[in-house]
Structure 1
């Protein structure tokens, strides 16, 4: 297995072009493919990297890895894709808002009839599916969005972990003058600023009801009393009431993790995929981390988390025009979701999303909290299947900085969704 390094990220485009040449139409249709190319996230876990190696050993098909830098993952992938370059396997987000720009009907193989689909419960069609066709093979447990909290900080102040936005404000009031930031916000990283407004709407999106209505142009994001505007207003209220850290507009999610672990902040809204970073803050001592940090669901008035499929371990099989390599790509997906799946889950360890394998032991208390929140009525993040939502983090970061109002942010997002939906020719637009 060959891979570029992070240090060589600037050579990725050149390498990808040479590898794509191996996938040109007519190159090997009459014989089994000897290799496949995978565009993969440079932040792939050791378990996923091991999956690639085990596929090589099992099949004799060489895996050529092309690193897509994790810190510019979406933009790098879409830029390369727009040039017409194609891998045999693409590791990417399963949410429709990310999938639609890739034009899956024209560019992706249909995976609907593969065995993993029926074995994945109700994960599909909420993820990786467009117009009833499954294009993604999801092997990883979804990203769970909620609130991390420092147990000792809350206990010392006589406060309970939050379950609602009213609770967030109560914690803010209860920690006033304590020197502890009630909520650490990460405007410098930008992407975390969208989490709290999205969490507000989780309880309104059972069965993707609200998100589907917005995607079909049945409900505008600009509804004055709708979940979207109310979530933005609740976020602005927390800002105005001094609930965030003093450097909220420049703070980073890495600093949020450190602050909550150290107790200089009480809470932060992030997703479950940063668990490894919290563990590192605790010196890789899972028991110590469990003693220090908890995780809870929070929405407008009820404890409901939002979830979304992540890119790590989510695979697509693009159409390359080379029948042999397309068949080898399907072979990889069958291995990743079949014969190789138990080892992938064990190596994580990870909670399985495909039936028929055994769940590993020895999960930490914090990891079990993610699973419990998911099992207890989690709702898919309502923006997951709405086209044109890529600019939301920009809008919430501007809102955090006082550069826009909730109504203006909603107007901007409605315009972006309308433009993207019309461009994609979606029903209702």
Structure 2
């Protein structure tokens, strides 16, 4: 999937709007790194609270390392930022440390040529396997996580489940049975919010962990043009969405309802399930704090329970370019290590709102996080997670959200929707110049 496009979706999910203009470079405000010290720069995308989060991390780091000063630099996020990253690396003008995507967009930076290897750093062994895979090449590790994960899953109302005596479903048949019981009780079983079209994609995006459980090579083969959405197991997501519409599981206003309406409905019990990104937790914290512990999450069920996996969006990472050398390289490595230390984790837990568990064992969620995040942690602890497709492939057709609105509204059958998306994807893959398309 196109990580940039989906990243915009993720930012929308947590209420963050990407800024159109770059912020001026600014320092952390600390007075570390005085005469005789080392000064390094840290580049971050100027979306949401990224700059403020970076400054909080720098302040804590400089307190422990008074001989090092870190100055923040910023640039636009999105496609413009992607192009700037490549230009700066190619011209040798990259900041000493930079914060960027993991997964397919990281691979597009030609890391073996442009980035400093970090395989020998002490924190590498703490990274979860899935995270290590999306900041590495065959030649080693180049990045460390900064931020938490989130998932595409089913957010649900725990009170409805308790009142109706329902159990968390692990298979599609169990999910369907729960939905029928909820519908019989006069409650909307599944909330859909097609007024914000991006939210219609979750039956496809959130099912990818289940696809990967059945076909571990699907992402790689998809990039090579050898896998299609019209074929099983990937076609199942489209079919599940068609089943939901035909079974009358949606809320009556699904065609016009917005993301904020979906958050309200599941929080207040107007609806039971909302397939969505778990970054929605920040909306619950802000708008429905009294209902927060009535909200949980489970993985979008596969047809078979043994294939049900939580589909995870891994965090961005911090990298060091090869142009960072000498004392600056040592200072940069110290800064990267600090981000993933217990002290750095404390900063992330306070300056950033976690949307899921962390992808490195040295960083843990505080005890007082919402129950929704604790529900996610169980999947991580049991090894029942898989990465979203965007971390395995650069391909995501631009029209998926329009196609899933049509399938979810009964306008287009699932098989036709999957075939149309395969054509949409083909055009994008050809534009990227990928072999096999």
Scaled to the shorter chain, the TM-score interval is: 0.7 to 0.9
Report what 2:82 is aligned to.
78
Partner SS for 1:386: coil
Report what 1:123 is aligned to.
130
Given that residues 75 and 81 in structure 2 are in contact (C-alpha distance below 8 angstroms), is that contact kept between their aligned partners in structure 1? no
Report what 1:243 is aligned to.
249
Report what 1:308 is aligned to.
313
Question: Partners of 1:318 and 1:394 in 2: how far apart?
Answer: 39
Which of 291, 295, 298 is the matching residue for 2:297?
295
- 1:352–1:263 Cα change, 3 Å: closer
Partner SS for 1:37: strand
Question: Partners of 2:333 and 2:413 in 1: how far apart?
Answer: 47
Question: Partners of 2:344 and 2:214 in 1: how far apart?
Answer: 27
Given that residues 202 and 276 in structure 2 are in contact (C-alpha distance below 8 angstroms), is that contact kept between their aligned partners in structure 1? yes
Q: Compute the displacement of 1:294 (Å).
A: 2.0
Given that residues 183 and 267 in structure 1 are in contact (C-alpha distance below 8 angstroms), is that contact kept between their aligned partners in structure 2? yes
Q: Compute the displacement of 1:295 (Å).
A: 1.7
Report what 2:101 is aligned to.
93
Correspondence 1:196 to 2:203: yes
Given that residues 39 and 89 in structure 1 are in contact (C-alpha distance below 8 angstroms), is that contact kept between their aligned partners in structure 2? no
- 1:355–1:305 Cα change, 3 Å: closer
TM-score (normalised: structure 2): 0.75
Partner SS for 2:22: helix
For these two proteins, the number of residue pairs brought into alignment is 399
Question: Partners of 2:185 and 2:148 in 1: how far apart?
Answer: 37
Question: Partners of 1:125 and 1:306 in 2: how far apart?
Answer: 16
Q: Compute the displacement of 1:153 (Å).
A: 2.6
Report what 1:12 is aligned to.
22
Farther off after superposition, 180-189 or 167-176: 167-176
Given that residues 95 and 308 in structure 1 are in contact (C-alpha distance below 8 angstroms), is that contact kept between their aligned partners in structure 2? no
Report what 1:334 is aligned to.
337
Unaligned runs of 5+ in 1: 1-5, 20-30
Report what 1:185 is aligned to.
192
Report what 2:238 is aligned to.
232
Residue by residue over 1:135-186, the C-alpha shift from the partner in whole angstroms, topping out at 9 and shown as x without a partner, is: 3311434213321111233344454443333333334333437553221123
- 1:248–1:349 Cα change, 3 Å: closer
Which of 367, 370, 373 is the matching residue for 1:367?
373
Correspondence 1:282 to 2:288: yes
Residue by residue over 1:364-407, the C-alpha shift from the partner in whole angstroms, topping out at 9 and shown as x without a partner, is: 43321110122232222345301212634454344335565433
Question: Partners of 2:210 and 2:122 in 1: how far apart?
Answer: 32
Alignment of 1:41-80 (within 5 A): 41-44=47-50, 49-57=55-63, 58=65, 59-66=67-74, 68=76, 73-78=77-82, 80=84
Question: Partners of 2:229 and 2:213 in 1: how far apart?
Answer: 20
Question: Partners of 1:353 and 1:198 in 2: how far apart?
Answer: 20
Question: Partners of 1:90 and 1:412 in 2: how far apart?
Answer: 38
Correspondence 1:174 to 2:184: no
Question: Partners of 1:207 and 1:107 in 2: how far apart?
Answer: 35
Question: Partners of 2:54 and 2:416 in 1: how far apart?
Answer: 42
Which of 406, 409, 415 is the matching residue for 1:407?
415
TM-score (normalised: structure 1): 0.76
Question: Partners of 1:331 and 1:48 in 2: how far apart?
Answer: 15
- 1:124–1:354 Cα change, 3 Å: closer
Q: Compute the displacement of 1:330 (Å).
A: 3.8
- 1:48–1:168 Cα change, 3 Å: farther
Given that residues 160 and 272 in structure 2 are in contact (C-alpha distance below 8 angstroms), is that contact kept between their aligned partners in structure 1? yes
Farther off after superposition, 176-185 or 380-389: 176-185
Farther off after superposition, 246-255 or 339-348: 339-348
Question: Partners of 2:413 and 2:318 in 1: how far apart?
Answer: 38
Report what 1:205 is aligned to.
212
Given that residues 208 and 382 in structure 1 are in contact (C-alpha distance below 8 angstroms), is that contact kept between their aligned partners in structure 2? no
Partner SS for 2:391: coil
Which of 386, 411, 416 is the matching residue for 1:379?
386
Unaligned runs of 5+ in 2: 1-15, 28-36
Question: Partners of 1:80 and 1:251 in 2: how far apart?
Answer: 37
